């Protein structure tokens, strides 16, 4: 993925977690020789570093906001100034060389800082104030932020989205993870892309082709799907002829133009109906009209 | 004990998941762990009675110092009769705006702090909370509850390699934003989620519900790992029987 200057928040959900992807991106940056600063709010340093080899761990600086973010511990283990100062301090640390800042997570920061303050600080962090010409390419700062989508309303989500040059939303199908990537470049139309991927145990990112369409989503691979109409004692299927006959049937209450014509001109080409009657011995056939003697 | 340093989230939707709390309580007591039970829903005697059916005596455990219980129903009233200066774990009940749960965290920390001197060595410390959703009803904000669990996780799980088990309710279709933020936030923090759900078709005499087990934050990210399992269950007097979906003895 191309390196943007503005923060791309990988958005995850409970079912498709994003920390593995964040770690994979951190690993990529470290392998490029960049220094990586991680502001860790949700997991311990030990847990975040797990799975990385010593080469990557040596390039990773972990700013621990996990152990005591709100200064509740008696001998204070907190970073001075609390979460906001810790975030602002990252700006001052990344003066030399290209660097990546990973925020784990933006959701935690959003819960503990006012949204406008957070957005302003992120804006300053990604150096948008300086013109692109001033900052030499080697000193660009890439900011990655992990955001848990379900924890926030549309307002804060929208505000953070507007800051981001790239948005990666995680989902998946049948155990296979996918990323919806929305890329916004200045003066260009936003581009949308879906990328299937998997993350290996050493946090290398492996891009994959789309899984075949024949596989049904959300079907349990262990149980074969059963056709419920197979062992019935009555017939639910229609043969081709039956289906054609059924389709060509006009329903009695549908008033089509043919029907209208037929009603307006009765008797033309219409078969008249006959009644066949065979009288038996006891019938009294009287041809007179029984109403004749009525004096009306 | 293979599982240590983990946060297990118990969640129930359209059913009562408290049987899971009783299970974990008796499980950890039998495993010789030091247990702190934050009981906000039921009285101590209720847990004791159920515990006896499951083979543990909570009274005995409390007497020998293995079990520390915060009885919310009783001590919630104490808050109002104590002088203001004395900190109380449920102090937030007295505040105009509920604030944070630092006093409650301090109570847990003091209860489970490993002691070096003389005492019989218990295995890892365990925190059980029944339940977190009631804190929302008592006026605590969801972020404050998440912060409390965060600190418990940092201290009990990370520092002392113990376990934390919390029960929370899923409000389901009712659009309770705070409850959703709490449930989703906790889910993101958890290593293991046990979700007890009522059956979609309604109440059944022989199958009381189904249990979904979801592993989150696997240590090794893999794509082919079976991340969730579903079982159905029936609660009996002294145990719970589990079976695969559709395989209840009553319907076979």
Instruction: Note the ipTM here.
Output: 0.84
The region, left, alpha or beta by phi > 0 then psi within -120 to 50, assigned to residue B65 is left
Residues of A in contact with B150 (CB under 8 A): 42, 66, 69
Of B150, B189, B222, the CB nearest to A201: B222
Q: What is the pLDDT of residues B185-243, one digit of tens each?
A: 998 888 889 999 888 777 777 778 888 888 876 544 544 344 677 888 878 777 777 77
Lowest mean pLDDT of A237-241, A262-266, B163-167, B209-213, name the range: A262-266
* Residue numbers of B between 161 and 190 with CB closer than 8 Å to A: 177, 180-181, 184-185, 187-189
Neighboring chain B residues of A200 at a CB cutoff of 8 Å:
221
Contact B221 A20 (CB under 8 A): yes
Contacts of A107 in chain B (CB under 8 A): 185, 188
Query: Does A67 contact B154 at a Cβ distance shorter than 8 Å?
Result: yes
Partner residue opposite A44 with nearest CB, options B158, B221, B224? B158
Is A151 close to B181, i.e. CB distance below 8 A?
Answer: yes
B46 or A259, which is more confident?
A: B46
- Kindly provide the b/e burial profile for residues A246-256, where b requires at least 16 CB atoms within 10 angstroms of the residue's own CB: eeeeeeeeeee
Sign of CA dihedral B192, B196, B201, B206: positive
A150: nearest CB among B106, B184, B217: B184
Under the banding of pLDDT at 50, 70 and 90, the label for residue A95 is low
Q: Does the pLDDT of residue A240 top 70, yes or no?
A: yes
Rounded mean pLDDT of A199-203? 81
C-alpha dihedral (A51, A52, A53, A57), degrees to nearest 10: -140
Q: Do A14 and B184 touch (CB under 8 A)?
A: yes
Residue range B19-29, pLDDT digits in tens? 999 999 999 99
The pLDDT, as a whole number, for residue A5 is: 36
Cα(B233)–Cα(B230) distance, integer angstroms: 10
> In angstroms, what separates the C-alpha of B231 from chain A's closest C-alpha?
14
On whether the CB atoms of residues A70 and A82 are closer than 8 A, the answer is: yes
Task: Give percent above pLDDT 90 in chain B.
Answer: 43
Q: For chain A, say whether B221 makes contact (Cβ under 8 Å).
A: yes
Query: Cα distance from A152 to chain B (closest Cα, Å)?
Result: 8
B70 has pLDDT over 90: yes
Q: How far is CA A145 from the centre of its chain?
A: 18
**Mean pLDDT for the stretch of residues A186-198:** 84
d(CA B44, CA A113): 39
| Cβ of residue B147 closer than 8 Å to a chain A Cβ | yes
Q: Give the span between the Cα atoms of B162 and B155, in whole angstroms.
A: 9
What pLDDT is attached to residue B104?
93
Average pLDDT for A113-141: 69
Q: What is the pLDDT of residues A150-179, one digit of tens each?
A: 888 889 988 888 888 888 888 877 667 888
**What's the pLDDT score for residue B120?**
61
User: According to the model, what pLDDT value does residue A2 have?
Assistant: 27
Q: Over pLDDT 70: what percentage of chain A?
A: 74
In 3D, which of A22, A179, A12 has the Cα closest to residue A101? Answer: A22
Residue B74, Ramachandran bin (φ over 0: left; ψ between -120 and 50: alpha; else beta): alpha
The CA distance from B17 to B167, in Å, is 8
Cβ of residue B100 closer than 8 Å to a chain A Cβ: yes
**Percent residues over pLDDT 70 in chain B:** 91
Quick check: pTM over 0.80? no
Query: Which of A72, A77, A200, A220 to probe by mutation at the B interface, max B CB count within 10 Å?
Result: A72
Instruction: Verify whether the Cβ–Cβ distance A68 to B223 is below 8 Å.
Output: no
Of B151, B184, B222, the CB nearest to A151: B184
């Amino acid at each position: 993925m191309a390196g943007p200057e503005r923060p791309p928040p990988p958005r995850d959900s409970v079912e498709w977690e994003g920390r593995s992807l964040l770690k994979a991106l951190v690993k990529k940056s470290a392998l490029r020789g960049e220094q990586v600063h991680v502001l860790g709010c949700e997991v311990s340093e030990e847990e975040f570093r797990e799975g990385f080899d010593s080469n990557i761990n040596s390039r990773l600086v972990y700013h621990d906001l996990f152990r005591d973010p709100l200064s509740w511990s008696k001998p204070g283990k907190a970073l001075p100034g609390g979460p906001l100062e810790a975030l602002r301090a990252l700006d001052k640390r990344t003066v030399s060389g290209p660097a990546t800042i990973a925020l784990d997570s933006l959701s935690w920061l959003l819960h503990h800082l006012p949204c406008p303050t957070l957005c302003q600080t992120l804006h300053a962090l990604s150096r948008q104030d300086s013109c692109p010409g001033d900052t030499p390419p080697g000193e660009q700062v890439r900011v990655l932020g992990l955001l848990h989508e379900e924890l926030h309303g549309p307002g804060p989500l929208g505000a953070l989205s507007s800051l981001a040059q790239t948005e990666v939303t995680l989902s998946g199908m049948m155990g296979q993870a996918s990323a919806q990537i929305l890329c916004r470049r200045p003066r260009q139309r936003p581009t949308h892309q879906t990328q299937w991927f998997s993350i290996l145990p050493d946090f290398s990112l492996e891009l994959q082709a789309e899984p075949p369409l024949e596989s049904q989503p959300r079907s349990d691979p262990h149980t074969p799907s059963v056709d419920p109409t197979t062992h019935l004692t009555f017939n639910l299927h229609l043969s081709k002829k039956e289906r054609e006959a059924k389709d060509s049937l006009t329903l009695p209450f549908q008033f089509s133009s043919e029907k209208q014509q037929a009603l307006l001109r009765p008797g033309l080409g219409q078969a008249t109906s006959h009644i066949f009657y065979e009288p038996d011995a006891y019938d009294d056939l009287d041809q007179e009209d029984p109403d004749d003697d009525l004096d009306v | 004990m293979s599982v240590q340093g983990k946060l297990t989230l118990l969640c129930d939707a359209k059913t009562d998941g408290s049987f899971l709390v009783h299970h974990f309580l008796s499980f950890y007591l039998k495993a010789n762990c030091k247990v702190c039970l934050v009981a906000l829903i039921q009285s101590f005697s209720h847990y004791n009675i159920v515990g006896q059916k499951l083979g543990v005596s909570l009274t005995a455990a409390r007497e020998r110092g293995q079990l520390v219980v915060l009885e919310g129903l009783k001590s919630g009233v104490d808050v109002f009769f104590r002088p203001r200066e004395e900190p109380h774990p449920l102090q937030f009940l007295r505040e105009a705006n509920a604030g944070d749960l630092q006093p409650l965290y301090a109570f847990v920390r003091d209860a489970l702090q490993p002691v070096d001197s003389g005492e019989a060595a218990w295995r890892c410390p365990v925190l059980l909370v029944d339940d977190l959703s009631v804190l929302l009803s008592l006026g605590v904000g969801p972020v404050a509850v998440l912060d409390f669990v965060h600190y418990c996780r940092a201290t009990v799980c990370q520092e002392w390699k113990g376990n934390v088990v919390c029960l929370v309710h899923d409000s389901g279709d009712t659009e309770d934003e705070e409850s959703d933020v709490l449930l989703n936030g906790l889910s993101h923090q958890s290593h293991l989620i046990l979700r007890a759900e009522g059956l979609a078709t309604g109440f059944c005499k022989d199958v009381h519900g189904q249990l979904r087990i979801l592993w989150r934050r696997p240590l090794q990210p893999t794509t082919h790992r079976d991340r969730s399992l579903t079982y159905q269950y029936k609660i009996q007097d002294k145990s719970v029987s589990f079976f695969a979906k559709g395989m209840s003895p009553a319907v076979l």
